[in-house]
Amino acid sequence: MDWLSPAEWGAVRLSLRVALWATLFSLPLGVLVAYALARWRFPGREVLNVLVHLPLIMPPVVTGYLLLLTFGTRGPIGGLLADWGIVFAFRWTGAALAAGVMAFPFMVRAVRLSIEAVDPKLEQAAATLGASRLWVFLTVTLPMIVPGIIAGTVLTFAKGMGEFGATITFVSNIPGQTQTIPLAIDLLLETPGGEAQAARLAGLSILLAALALALSEWISRRVAARVGGA
Amino acid sequence: MLEVSVRHAFAGFTLDAAFRAPPGVTVLFGRSGSGKTTVVNAVAGLLMPDAGRIASGDWALLDTEAGVRLPPHRRRLGYIFQEGRLFPHLTVRQNLRYGAWFAPKDAPREDMGRVVDLLGIGHLLDRRPGALSGGEKQRVAIGRALLSAPRLILADEPLAALDEARKAEILPYFERLRDEVAVPILYVSHSASEVARLATTVVAMDAGRVVAQGPAAEVLGDPSVLPAGAREAGAVLTARVVRLHEDGLCELDAAGVPLFLPRAAEAPGVVLRVRIAAHDVILSRTRPEGLSALNILPGVVHEMRPGAGPGTLVALDTPAGRVLARITRRSAETMGLAPGQTCHAIVKSVSVAPEDVGGPRLDLAE
């Protein structure tokens, strides 16, 4: 396939990699946070809820700036992680972190909604049959929220592919390192004669998004058919 | 022997109940809101009461003084809920096996095939709960509880969500459970006929308290204990089937007194329990003749309890056992009824509803 230049392929591959890692980390953490918000009553629950949703509401530039302050090489967490050899600043890992943080609310919201739809009476029934909390979650709650998890995963992945504001603020626009598809489109639009290339990448973005949605719909339907009605 | 004693304060309602449940079926009997379900949830561990002790022998599920509060999954109970609560994402077979998977390996287990036969659910095993009828779901729920190797079975109004036909379908399974399974059962009900048919022991509850407890015939025949109200009052007699007559009537023998009932499904020799609703009983000072009613039980007035309205409840000791009759105070005065006087209780055969005649009960058979 030579209809994309090597640089463009690089952006596509990078976008996929960034979105994949953002999703991989958001998934378990998102399910845990969603479960905590849906089922547990603990001090600081509201604070956690606000923290999770902030990236959805704040200007992405601000999220990127905050990431720079905390995860930059001189930031409190970034400095600590740098000693372990984990560097975010101006690397693709930083782009994945930015994408993950920005997409996290989508994951949490989708999973939380599906957990709230699970009747706690079924979980109680499982407990009376001898299942500990962890087993109740694994054998009753989890199978019933699979459609929600799939929806959250797809949303997170798509958001990760398309994240722009926080990424460019946090890790800048470096070809091969942090230049994902949207960042590449942005650069092409500012380059004389780059419109055709930008249009191709835009078309590709639309295609990938549509594919992801269709896939999730298909999986959700199959799972829903297997889980069956109450 | 299960011993329960729980105290718990809710907003505007205090539960303070203590009772003992010997082997067999112990029915928590009372109006809705009397605290029955709360007690069962405390036994299951779904509600942690403020204070109390729940123990079976030396095995304590809850002992607030000793700081013991076992979580639900370590109590080894089979809880049959009103709404079944089957797992929709599992097949019937997987639902049935769910509890056994968590039970200790050395726990005494019911055989899956036997339980499936007992409940008649063999043809449902590969279906999912969504494809079952209400009665089928409840039978599977009974099996699921039974197969979890429980030390105690809890049932919270398991028939309340079913229509009359389905109730009639499920009730015999609970009778079989009582008679064929060694596990004690704690059963919540506000239905007088369920209590009459199932209960070995009755624990009557009202406003969060236990108002009476004891053997079923004793508690149900006590006119001062009316957990479901005077309208639902009715005593329970046990009687042995003598023969089935050609006209469809079933002749029973209740300690020498013949009883004629419309139910003809049982073989001679079988012991049945028959609930005689108090409002279906007519009293007469002399033995009536030329009467259409077939059942006439001679007896002595034990006690009379005037109600709030025009009615009064008369407890009559007959050779067949205690009978309750609900008559008007006016009639009682006209007849000059008083404790110690002889009188006859008249019961129409057809007034005994089929759901008030229970299946055999081993501990009363001999």
Judging contacts by C-beta atoms under 8 Å, the chain B residues touching residue A127 are 45-46, 71-73
Query: Does some domain include residue A1?
Result: no
Q: Domain coordinates of chain B in residue numbers? A: 2-220, 234-365
* CB B17 within 8 Å of CB B37: no
Count: domains in chain A: 1
**Whether B218 contacts chain A with CB within 8 A:** no
Lookup: tokens for A33? 């946070």
Q: For residue A90, what is the domain's CATH number?
A: 1.10.3720.10
Instruction: Extract the runs of DSSP E, i.e. beta strands, from B113-192.
Output: 152-156, 185-189
**Whether A120 contacts chain B with CB within 8 A:** no
B102 with A129: Cβ contact below 8 A: yes
Nearest-CB residue to A143 (from B89, B101, B128):
B89
Q: Show the CA angle centred on residue B209, arms to residues B204 and B213, nearest 5°.
A: 35
Nearest-CB residue to A130 (from B87, B129, B148):
B148
Nearest-CB residue to A140 (from B44, B87, B148):
B87
DSSP-derived letter for residue B82 is T
**Nearest chain A residue to B77, by CA:** A128
- pLDDT digit string, tens, across residues A86-136: 888 888 999 999 999 999 999 999 999 999 999 999 999 999 999 999 999
**Whether A5 contacts chain B with CB within 8 A:** no
* CB B186 within 8 Å of CB B21: yes
Q: How close, in Å, is residue A136 to chain B by CA atoms?
A: 10
* Chosen CATH of B2-220 out of 3.40.50.2300, 3.40.50.300, 3.20.20.150, 3.20.20.70: 3.40.50.300
Mutate to test the interface with A, among B89, B91, B152 (most CBs of A within 10 A): B89
Mutate to test the interface with B, among A129, A138, A222 (most CBs of B within 10 A): A129
Cβ neighbour number for residue A220 with a 10 Å cutoff: 17
Nearest-CB residue to B103 (from A130, A143, A226):
A130
Give pTM, 2 decimals: 0.81
Mutate to test the interface with A, among B61, B82, B85, B132 (most CBs of A within 10 A): B85
B144 with A129: Cβ contact below 8 A: yes
Lookup: tokens for B35? 């605290």
Mean pLDDT, contiguous 10-residue spans, chain B (366 residues): 91 91 91 90 93 90 91 92 92 94 84 88 93 91 92 92 83 85 89 87 91 88 76 84 85 88 75 86 88 88 86 89 89 89 87 70 40
DSSP-derived letter for residue A149 is H
* Chosen CATH of B234-365 out of 1.10.10.10, 3.20.20.70, 2.40.50.100, 3.40.50.300: 2.40.50.100
Asked if B2-220 and B234-365 have one fold, the answer is no
* Cβ-proximal residues to B53 (8 Å cutoff; 6+ apart), any chain: B3, B4, B5, B60, B62, B63, B64, B65
pLDDT value for A229: 46
Mutate to test the interface with B, among A128, A141, A145 (most CBs of B within 10 A): A128
Query: Does some domain include residue A196?
Result: yes
**Whether A225 contacts chain B with CB within 8 A:** no
| Rounded CA separation B304/A110 (Å) | 65
**Whether A223 contacts chain B with CB within 8 A:** no
Lookup: tokens for A149? 């998890």
**Whether B104 contacts chain A with CB within 8 A:** no
**Whether A143 contacts chain B with CB within 8 A:** yes
Measured in degrees and rounded to the nearest 5, phi and psi for residue B163 equal -80, 170
Predicted ipTM of the assembly:
0.81
B46 with A124: Cβ contact below 8 A: yes
Query: Does some domain include residue A93?
Result: yes
Judging contacts by C-beta atoms under 8 Å, the chain B residues touching residue A140 are 87, 89
Query: What is the residue range of A160's domain?
Result: 6-227
Residues of B (113-152) whose Cβ lies below 8 Å from A:
128-131, 144-145, 148
CB pairs A-B closer than 8 Å: 77
Measured in degrees and rounded to the nearest 5, phi and psi for residue B12 equal 80, 10
Residue B62 C-alpha from the chain's centroid? 26
Query: Does some domain include residue A42?
Result: yes
Q: What distance, in Å, lies between the first and last C-alpha atoms of chain B?
A: 22
Lookup: tokens for B215? 């053997």
Judging contacts by C-beta atoms under 8 Å, the chain A residues touching residue B154 are 128
